[in-house]
Structure 1
């Protein structure tokens, strides 16, 4: 269990370092960026390093580059860049490598690194929040279909992401010698794998099994339409997480707690077409319960 951190970036670093993957290796090659690292063998060493960073946050200016790209996925990648730079036994060789043939861009490789065991690894990194569609699931099946896990943007499904990774993104590293221009000295990766984190959110009050290879999260993860907030226990208390702060729970006492009626009013005030993330108040750990609230019209 990590200690409590105050700096929001350090809190996100702790979430990225301490949270499990969405999937195991049944559906695609999965590899922890810190596999074999001393930080995995001795987690207290990792928490000590992050505690030192939390106490001297000015160091973050050197480690965590600012960016005009405010997308959560870009933020997530930069968190991993920071962790792999801090780790004593990993090394980033290149990241965000655009592969082109002439004027045509064929794709981008997220990361090439030297792992703790010396292996040259191509990694595709992604943070994803998928919502289970219990109305599409066959209750006779013990596992759900990846097609039945939809992103907030309904064009993004777990099935589509898996297909994109296995058919396009992961094979790109084998084409480095013919396509790369800016990093001609980059060694050919020995391993290509993905590392997906985030959450698989089951419908509130509707049991739904995870897809094959899905890893049970350390905390309850549910989603519901706005109208279902009225069905939550009236005595329950929640904290709203701003969109760019969906990773680590907020620091203790960092925000006003909300009852379900407050949450309902807030969602109506914020308007349609916005997802809202809440976490259970009183728990600022990685195991804090999460609730992702969608517009009543979603996924229409």
Structure 2
């Protein structure tokens, strides 16, 4: 039995798994999920699979929410992009060196968000309508940093497109609080803060004076196409990927989330994980369903953080993930953060 200290509810592992399976079946009805599942069965290289997941996995947040002003990339757009990228992904699977060069060494303990941005930049830079692309463009007003463009693209039509990129993993610690009850692996990382920041500030950065000055400077110095800030045309978008881990499969879901969001369960380490084969995921292994060896990678893993585990099953000499779970120390202050 799993005990949820937040909700004070006990649920059997069997019922949780059955309900979680039903939730997954519902989510997999989207076109993007069907395309992604088919591709993940075909691709063999781990980083190529992660790239496919970056392209085609469901949005974390609900793109139909008016607060996004149609700026959050939809699951339909993701499905279209995944279909377009399928031949390219298969080519990378046969020869992944260019991908490895772009993403870097997994043994280097880089922030997961930065690694994810590299995947997204590589994907967006090979769009047929894009001729220049970069990431991490810092925006300053005087000597003060006011923001950063995660990914910036110059399209062939002359329009500059910005893409706010996030990949997040939250625990639904107190479902009765909605988005305010969802906390990241570190207590200061709150879903409510991220949602507000993305919808109110980050996706509007290209409309600000400082943002336009920064984009015009990039256009002049890096693209060789000088224009004044008032002459450029900017379109701002956002891409949200990730998982929300629930205390039970029937827990309340914040209204801001996509009904198809990636999901799993969380529990404390006071309870053993059910089933025989669980593998700790480290570093970029968090990005998308795991497939590989049973032995753990030995990649850097912060001991203070909750641990991500994948339930894996052997098939044709490979171990494939069937579900995912976050395990939090029973004495962790994280459990008292909401």
TM-score bracket, shorter-length normalisation: 0.7 to 0.9
TM-score norm. by structure 2 comes to 0.69
Between Structure 1 and Structure 2, the one with more helix by share is 2
Partner of 1:97: 137
> Which residue pairs with 2:19 in the alignment?
none
The alpha carbon displacement at 1:279 in A equals 1.4
Question: Which ranges of structure 2 fall in alignment gaps of 5 or more residues?
Answer: 1-37, 221-225
In 2, the alpha carbon distance for the partners of 1:163 and 1:155 equals 14
- 1:276 maps to 2:307: yes
> Residue 5 of structure 1 is aligned with which of 27, 34, 43?
43
The corresponding residue for 1:60 is: 99
Q: Do the aligned residues in 1 keep the contact of 2:249 with 2:265 (CA within 8 Å)?
A: no
8 Å CA contact retained: 2:268, 2:328: yes
Matched-pair contact (CA < 8 Å) for 1:272–1:295: no
* Alpha-carbon distance between aligned partners in 1 of 2:259 and 2:74, rounded to the nearest angstrom: 20
Correspondence 1:209 to 2:252: yes
Q: Distance in 1 between matches of 2:320 and 2:86?
A: 14
Could you tell me which residue of structure 1 aligns to residue 206 of structure 2?
173
CA RMSD of aligned residues (A): 3.5
Within 5 Å, give how 1:76-95 maps onto structure 2: 76-95=116-135
User: d(CA) in 2 for partners of 1:271 and 1:58?
Assistant: 28
Show the counterpart of 1:24.
Answer: 62
Q: Map of 1:103-252 to 2, 5 A cutoff?
A: 103-114=143-154, 120-134=160-174, 137-138=175-176, 145-174=178-207, 175=209, 176-179=211-214, 181-184=217-220, 185=226, 188-203=232-247, 205=248, 207-217=250-260, 220-228=263-271, 230=272, 232-233=273-274, 235-252=275-292
Provide closer, same or farther for how the CA distance between residues 214 and 199 of structure 1 changes in structure 2, counting only shifts above 3 A. Answer: same
Matched residue of 1:145: which SS?
Answer: helix
Q: Say which is worse superposed, 274-283 or 152-161, in terms of deviation.
A: 274-283
Aligned equivalent of 1:296, options 308, 317, 330? 330
CA contact (8 A) 1:12 1:248 kept: yes
SS of the aligned residue for 1:289 comes to strand
Residue 305 of structure 2 aligns to a residue whose secondary structure is: coil
Matched positions, count = 274
Q: Normalising by the residue count of structure 1, what TM-score does the alignment of the two structures yield?
A: 0.77
Give unpaired runs (5+ residues) of structure 1.
Answer: 139-143, 258-269
Could you tell me which of 15, 33, 50 is aligned with 2:89? 50
